[in-house]
Structure 1
Amino acid sequence: MKKQGSSYLRELIRILVRDLGILEKSDTSCCGVTISQCHAIVEIGRSEEISLNELAKTLNLDKSTMSRTINNLVKSGLVIREMHPEDRRYVTIKLTDGGMDTFKNIESRMKEYYKNIFQSIPDNKREQVLESLKLLTEAVNKNKCC
């Protein structure tokens, strides 16, 4: 295969997605939770509390998918929903103590994982890789598929 152009970009991204385990559907893919639950826990943990709508927007998911993910996390005892005292339609989502432990575990493991990946890149190429990833994420955000 010719190593240039959009077809090669697609192949590299497909390989990256597979290598990062993003396609993994196992219930224990990320510290004992699914990948989508992992992403939700991290975003909730980083914001301390967040609405379902804000979380869905942040994770680029529709509200029904986000709601199912949160329902499963509530059943697992990792998050709680709290009604706003003045507007019962506004629900905030927070981590429980167990959810906070899971969040800290995820953050610790991911910090080590990405540190190892970063250190595997030659020193003189690290800034180039970061700049390229930044450009790629910006381009992806401007050009949504399907």
Structure 2
Amino acid sequence: MEEKYGDSLYGIFSQVIKLNFYRAHKLLETIGLHPGQAHLLGVVGHNEGISQNQLAKTLNVKPATVTGMIKKIEKAGLIERKSDEQDQRVLRVYTTKEGKELSLKLKRFYDEIKKDCFKGFTDEELILFRRLLMQMKDNLVKINGEECSPGFSEL
């Protein structure tokens, strides 16, 4: 008998990714952010003064896309842009006090999701699972030829 996609290992893996995204999206909605905005805020918070161009590369989006994202988050008072002291053409991005406070809330959200996801796992199972995921990641990096930006919980 042929295994259905939804019951296959890859099908279950895809479902877990979707469910994790859905859970994160629902939590982020409560504070008025989208996943991409939360990711951007996390990257800026851990790289204060990052240039807009470097931020676009880190997020793997076009500079025009990151500019639009920044404008929305800047309008909300979570980040600010300042010209580089040595090169006025370069804009650097910083989190505001409100952005830092929201980042702490985001960390708590992601800690909650992580706790829920790994409920019932032993330490040994978590170590093995991490090793297997790292192997999958390495396989895909070799095929794609590039890394992706880290998720917020890694920042």
TM-score tier after normalising by the smaller chain length: 0.7 to 0.9
Partners in 2 of 1:92 and 1:124 — Cα distance?
Answer: 42
Note the C-alpha offset of 1:98.
0.7
Which residue is equivalent to 1:43?
A: 43
CA contact (8 A) 1:56 1:62 kept: yes
Moved more, 80-89 or 48-57: 48-57
Which residue is equivalent to 1:12?
A: 12
Q: Which has the higher contact order (CA 8 A, sep 6+)?
A: 2
Partners in 2 of 1:50 and 1:62 — Cα distance?
Answer: 16
Partners in 2 of 1:32 and 1:120 — Cα distance?
Answer: 31
Sequence identity (%): 23
Partners in 2 of 1:36 and 1:134 — Cα distance?
Answer: 23
**Cα distance change of structure 1 residues 71 and 13 upon mapping to structure 2, 3 Å threshold:** farther
Measured against aligned partners, the alpha-carbon deviations of 1:58-80 in whole angstroms (never above 9, x if no partner) come to 22222221111111111111100
Measured against aligned partners, the alpha-carbon deviations of 1:101-132 in whole angstroms (never above 9, x if no partner) come to 11111012212321332343244311110101
CA contact (8 A) 1:44 1:93 kept: yes
Measured against aligned partners, the alpha-carbon deviations of 1:85-110 in whole angstroms (never above 9, x if no partner) come to 22112111000111111111101221
**Cα distance change of structure 1 residues 84 and 39 upon mapping to structure 2, 3 Å threshold:** same
CA RMSD of aligned residues (A): 2.9
Unaligned runs of 5+ in 1: none
Q: 2:118 is paired with a residue of what secondary structure?
A: helix
Aligned residue pairs total: 142
Partners in 2 of 1:9 and 1:94 — Cα distance?
Answer: 41
Which residue is equivalent to 1:88?
A: 88
Partners in 2 of 1:58 and 1:136 — Cα distance?
Answer: 21
Q: 2:82 is paired with a residue of what secondary structure?
A: strand
